Amino acid sequence: MQRLRHGNLNERIWAGLAVLCLSSGLLGCGAGTAITPNDVPPEQDPGDPPAPLVLPAQSEDRMRFLTRATFGPNEHDFTRLGQIGYQSWFVEQLLLPASLHRPLLEAQGQGAGQFQRQDVWWKLSVTAPDQLRQRMAFALSELFVVSQHDKILLHEAVALADYYDLLVQGSFGNFRDLLEGVTRSPVMGVYLSMFKNEKADLESAEHPDENFAREIMQLFTIGLVQLTPSGQVASGPGGVPIATYSQHDIEEMARIFTGWNFAGAASWDSPQVSLGPMQNWSEYHDQAAKTLPGGVFVPAGQTGQQDLDQALDLLFLHPNVGPFFARHLITRLVTSNPTADYVQRVAAVFADNGAGVRGDLAAVLWAVLSDQQAFTGHITDPEDFGKLREPMLRITALWRAFGGVPQNGKYQLWESENTLGQAPLSSQTVFNFFRADYSHPGVVQDSGLVAPELEISDEVRIVLGTNLIRTLLVKGYPEAPFTSSEDVWMDFSDERALAAEPAELIDHLDLLLMGGSMPAAMRSLLIDHLETIPMNFGDLPDGTQRVLDAVQLILISPQGAVQV
Amino acid sequence: MSFQAEFARGGPHFDRRRMLLGSAGALLGGVFAWPDRLVRSVQAASLAPLGGASDYKALVCVFLVGGNDSYNMIVPSSGSAYDSYAAARSNLALPKAQLLPVGAVGTPAQEMGFHPALPKLRQRFLSGDLAVLANVGTLNAPTTKADVLAKVPHLPAHLYSHVDQSRFWQATQAESLEARGWGGKLIEQLAALNVGSQLPAAISLGGANIWQMGVQTTPYAIGPTGSVAYQGFESGMGLARREVFDQLLALQHERRLVEAFAVQHQRATEFGEVVSEALSTAPQISAAFPANDDLADALKAIARLAAVHDQTGVARQVFYVRVDGFDTHTGHLAAQPELFAQLDNALGAFQDALDELGLANDVTTFTASEFGRSLSSNGKGCDHGWGGHQLVMGGAVAGGAAYGAWPEMVLDGPQDSGYGRLIPTTAADQMAASLAGWMGVSPGALGQMFPNLAQFSSSDLGFLI
């Protein structure tokens, strides 16, 4: 029987570290790792020691790693990574304290609403030291989706920030714990209407709400059809996919999730709002026996928490979860069309982190980032490897690359939902900003590929996003003609110093903004263009216009929009 | 299952061919009380020459995202039908006195009323510009409760799931590898009529969608004010930058995702100017569209674009717009009146605008939604259903009538697949084929587009003239 419950976060991180030490020969783990007897298998036959993991570490490799592990590479992280290597950098990030969103929002006082919440997201995503954790939390927020587009949550910015912090704090924990945290979150309770869900009322023929019961299975854990260990659709008799659950299973699952209300509510109908995990009221919980997917029997008379534990355990142990979650994380961080082997390797780590623990998110994240396909896919699969950058991440990458600092402390990208099709916790539906299986007529569909981010790259958004990048650049430095105290200023001094030699400038930007993936023909075009721009242009500091043109063209180009 | 065009007042089957071949006037004196609008449409249809400058037709798909609770959109308003409805819907039932009556319509003829937040659409129904399609849903073949209980193979896959049922509604052959949007496919079928057009025929005000994706067709997205222009490419340095940008787009792209993104930019560039130029000549519209409403803004943009179809040279066009918020598991009683009022005001103004522009007969608007909702309540709202009613509006609509069979609104009744998720009695494919046929797709091509159509008794529900 696999362990489902774990000790505190530190214990799990140390367990993860132990695994990293074992699997990678990482230096510096040292004696501290011996403190987790519960999570490490007792005695193993050491056998042959695993070969030390050697990951390619050219400048391009490191930049590409940081593109996935952070909200965009910058010189600081690039240098640090070069000094200590991938594993140590990863461990260093694991151990950084979590930067939380809710306290920064609450510090802004009573009037703080959704704009201020989004502003906190931009601030922490661009500047927080715990980049790996913040990036993981963002990827989780695109799986366990809640949104301000809800009649109640629209007015609950602090609650949404608190929910995001649940993801931030759970980013390196265990999937099972996070799943329970999400399930009992009052924000999820409101968003998918599990909150105040009552057992059936036979007289009025009312039945429990099926919303959360359906989506926790379809979207958060197992999906609609049985998967192979590598995440492919498994074929049943006659080549037909096998459904993971039936409508009847949903109805039974809906009965499991009854009786939950705000923590400390004075009465069932009390309007009092509380941000703690929801609590169960036995008189509203359906205590009759139930049958879960796969025919698992839930005995009568269990408490709401016992029912919930049994259902979440069932989902957590379902063989689909590993490949399902692996694919989600790979497609959010690395590539839209991973090989089956890549998914399978990551799913295997989900099943067992090497120390007998299932659902260790830190280990799964490391498996995604350190996989051989992540390092070599651009060579072995040059046509299809990589992904479109998410629109918001194009902007965080810009600000991180050039140290963007808002003059008034606010990033104020409040229109990003219109201009980018994305804003933090602002999906239109629980299906995230884009569907995981979105394809697109033409070269993508013809090749059997998916390109989720293309769903929000229509002809309106693509132009608005292009214009936004331009606006942020032309006003985004101290000497800019039309800049004001509301703008985010970037530092282009390193780039100006290279501007007299356009080839050097372009190579520098290629590394910083494109991980060295710039095609030769693009490089030539940009160099030729820069040479037509005088170093001394207008009243700007020497080289500025060359830098601005180069950065803008790279960021708005289709080549720069794809991360490889 | 018989499905013939059933007209108002529960009259006998309406033979459309005989009607068109015979004299509309003579029939007028007969036993049927035809809605005025229908008479005018029929007269227009028999008088107007085919082709020529007036040969423009457009479909507008208003997709109600989340699953519209349409059993509260049009409701039995009297007798035992209302009593069944009220019993099944529990706390979600609308009080009888609040319904906006439209008389006895449909099959079986039944006194019906519109939701109180839909006065304008009810008026359009009464004046013959709007029809109701009863209990439409995703079907591969006629389906009974016994079929559902036996889990026969022709049941649609993943019933009650948002994504899958949306795809079914929007695509043809939804469950095969050939799945493509039927809006996109019909445009490809009619490509010969659009030769020389400067604009894509599929225009979306709701971003990407399956409905408008054909084999090669992709929706061209615009915003409420039309296309969006690139900034910073205008003059001096900007022009040079634009040139480099265009060259970057035009490079041979090894990476397919780069190619796809470049194509989006090229489309935005190419068509943006056409749209802006055409819209600059669009007539002013005086119809009163609600302010600060995304749906109204989108529909107004569609009206303006339809008005300049001559300039863009397009003869067959499909427009898509989405409205969010219909997934009312909770907060239903507060949300539904707002959602319906939004629909009523925006669609009402849109039809006013089409009247004003002289396009009423050329543009047909329809609602679609991934599913109806369960009749039964969960206390706060209702859950995912299956069949549901849809609206079709326009001068070409044989309105004032309901098509298809009203469902029995009885929990655990013969049409209940569980919790009041009613089994559809008309297929979404039949509705789609009727609309595509009106646009001009030939019966043979319809059969190819919708291979399941042969399973049903009719491929033209007769609601369009």
pLDDT at B372: 98
The rounded radius of gyration (Å) of the Cα atoms in chain A is 25
The arithmetic mean of pLDDT across residues B448-460, rounded, is 94
Cβ distance of B232 and A467 shorter than 8 Å: yes
Segment A28-60, tens digit of pLDDT: 333 333 323 333 333 444 455 545 568 999 999
Task: Name chain B contacts of A216, Cβ cutoff 8 Å.
Answer: none
The arithmetic mean of pLDDT across residues A243-265, rounded, is 96
The arithmetic mean of pLDDT across residues B382-405, rounded, is 98
Task: Name chain B contacts of A250, Cβ cutoff 8 Å.
Answer: 160
Cβ distance of A206 and B65 shorter than 8 Å: no
Segment A379-389, tens digit of pLDDT: 999 999 999 99
In Å, how far are A2, A206, A305, A319, A518 from A308, measured between CA atoms? Answer: 18, 21, 5, 19, 50
Cβ distance of A458 and B249 shorter than 8 Å: no
Residue of B nearest to A537 (CA): B237
The arithmetic mean of pLDDT across residues A292-309, rounded, is 97
| Closest by Cα among A377, A419, A375 to A395 | A419
What pTM, to 2 d.p., does this model score? 0.89
Query: Are the C-beta atoms of B34 and B372 separated by less than 8 Å?
Result: no
Task: Name chain A contacts of B237, Cβ cutoff 8 Å.
Answer: 533, 545, 549
Segment B49-76, tens digit of pLDDT: 333 346 999 999 999 999 999 999 999 9
Q: Phi and psi at residue B323, in whole multiples of 5°?
A: -125, 125
Cβ distance of B329 and A210 shorter than 8 Å: yes
The arithmetic mean of pLDDT across residues A473-483, rounded, is 95
DSSP labels, A202-237: TTTTB----HHHHHIIIIIIS-SB-B-TTSPBPB-G
Given the DSSP bridges, would you call strands B100-105 and B110-114 parallel, antiparallel or unpaired? antiparallel
Query: Are the C-beta atoms of A318 and A283 separated by less than 8 Å?
Result: no
Residue of A nearest to B153 (CA): A240
pLDDT at B152: 94
pLDDT grade, residue A5 (50/70/90)?
very low
B208 vs A447, A458, A545: nearest CB: A458
Cβ distance of B418 and A197 shorter than 8 Å: no
pLDDT at A51: 54
> B411 and chain A: CB distance < 8 Å anywhere?
yes
Beta-strand ranges (E) seen in B176-310 are: 180-181, 202-204, 220-221
Cβ distance of B90 and A205 shorter than 8 Å: yes
Measure in Å the smallest separation between the Cα of A486 and chain B Cα atoms: 20
pLDDT at A17: 56
Among A381, A458, A548, the strongest candidate for a mutation testing the B interface, having the largest count of B CBs within 10 A, is A458
The amino acid at B344: D
B301 CB-near residues (< 8 Å, 6+ apart):
B205, B222, B223, B224, B225, B226
Q: List the structure tokens of A228.
A: 């192979």
pLDDT for residue A535 is more than 90: yes
A553 vs B248, B251, B331: nearest CB: B248
Task: Name chain B contacts of A247, Cβ cutoff 8 Å.
Answer: 159-160, 418
Residue of B nearest to A450 (CA): B257
B268 vs A151, A388, A463: nearest CB: A463
Measure in Å the smallest separation between the Cα of B340 and chain A Cα atoms: 16
As a whole number, the mean pLDDT across chain A is 91
Residue B291: how many CB atoms within 10 A of its CB?
7
The arithmetic mean of pLDDT across residues A148-172, rounded, is 97
Owner of token pair 């609950």: A156
Cβ distance of A553 and B215 shorter than 8 Å: no
Task: Name chain B contacts of A197, Cβ cutoff 8 Å.
Answer: 378-379
| Closest by Cα among A251, A181, A166 to A212 | A251
Cβ distance of A151 and B216 shorter than 8 Å: no
Residue of A nearest to B247 (CA): A525
CB neighbour burial string for B308-338, b if at least 16 within 10 angstroms, e if fewer? bbebbebbbbbbbbbbbbbbbbbbbeebbee
% of chain B exceeding 90 in pLDDT? 83
CA torsion, points A303, A305, A307, A311, in degrees to nearest 10?
Answer: 180
> B267 and chain A: CB distance < 8 Å anywhere?
yes
Q: Phi and psi at residue B130, in whole multiples of 5°?
A: -145, 135
Beta bridge partners of B363: B58
A542 CB-near residues (< 8 Å, 6+ apart):
A496, A499, A535, A536
> B277 and chain A: CB distance < 8 Å anywhere?
no
CB < 8 Å & 24+ apart, contacts of A510-514: A510/A554, A511/A59, A511/A60, A511/A63, A512/A63, A512/A73, A512/A401, A513/A397, A513/A401, A513/A551, A513/A554, A513/A555, A513/A560, A514/A554, A514/A559, A514/A560
Query: Are the C-beta atoms of A420 and A392 separated by less than 8 Å?
Result: yes
Cβ distance of B240 and A214 shorter than 8 Å: no
Q: How many helices (H) and strands (E) does chain A have?
A: 25, 8
Distance CA A365, CA A43 (A): 26
Among B213, B242, B258, the strongest candidate for a mutation testing the A interface, having the largest count of A CBs within 10 A, is B258
Distance CA B225, CA B297 (A): 8
Which residues 135-174 of chain B have a CB within 8 Å of chain A?
Answer: 157-164
Cβ distance of A451 and B419 shorter than 8 Å: no
Q: Give the DSSP letter of residue A221.
A: I
Q: Is B77 helix (H, G, I), strand (E, B) or coil?
A: coil
Task: Name chain B contacts of A204, Cβ cutoff 8 Å.
Answer: 90-91, 377
CA torsion, points A286, A187, A432, A358, in degrees to nearest 10?
Answer: -70
Residue A321: how many CB atoms within 10 A of its CB?
24
Distance CA B341, CA B335 (A): 10
Query: Are the C-beta atoms of B381 and A207 separated by less than 8 Å?
Result: no
In angstroms, the first-to-last Cα distance of chain B is 23
pLDDT for residue B360 is more than 80: yes
Residue of A nearest to B226 (CA): A460
Distance CA B110, CA B133 (A): 14
pLDDT at B41: 39
pLDDT for residue B435 is more than 60: yes
Distance CA B130, CA B37 (A): 9
The amino acid at A103: P
pLDDT grade, residue A110 (50/70/90)?
confident
pLDDT at A488: 97
Cβ distance of A558 and B249 shorter than 8 Å: yes
pLDDT at B31: 35
> B452 and chain A: CB distance < 8 Å anywhere?
no
pLDDT at B48: 36
| Closest by Cα among B411, B415, B421, B451 to B83 | B411
Chains A and B form CB pairs within 8 A to the count of 227
Ordered alpha helix ranges (H), A359-429: 361-370, 372-380, 391-401, 416-420
Residue of B nearest to A336 (CA): B257
Q: List the structure tokens of B87.
A: 């019993």
- Containing H/E element for B364? strand B363-368
Task: Name chain A contacts of B248, Cβ cutoff 8 Å.
Answer: 522, 525, 553, 557-559
Beta bridge partners of B133: B390, B403
pLDDT for residue B2 is more than 50: no
Measure in Å the smallest separation between the Cα of B218 and chain A Cα atoms: 6
Beta bridge partners of B103: B112
Prior bond to A229 cis, omega within 30?
no
Instruction: Give the sign of the dihedral formed by CA A532, CA A535, CA A536, CA A539.
Output: positive
pLDDT at A263: 95
The rounded radius of gyration (Å) of the Cα atoms in chain B is 22
Task: Name chain A contacts of B210, Cβ cutoff 8 Å.
Answer: none
Beta-strand ranges (E) seen in A324-427 are: 387-388, 405-406
Cβ distance of A214 and B231 shorter than 8 Å: no
Segment A182-232, tens digit of pLDDT: 999 999 999 999 999 999 988 888 899 999 999 999 999 999 999 999 999
> B381 and chain A: CB distance < 8 Å anywhere?
yes
Q: Is B100 helix (H, G, I), strand (E, B) or coil?
A: strand
Q: Phi and psi at residue B29, in whole multiples of 5°?
A: -80, 0
Cβ distance of A529 and B244 shorter than 8 Å: yes
Distance CA A551, CA A26 (A): 37
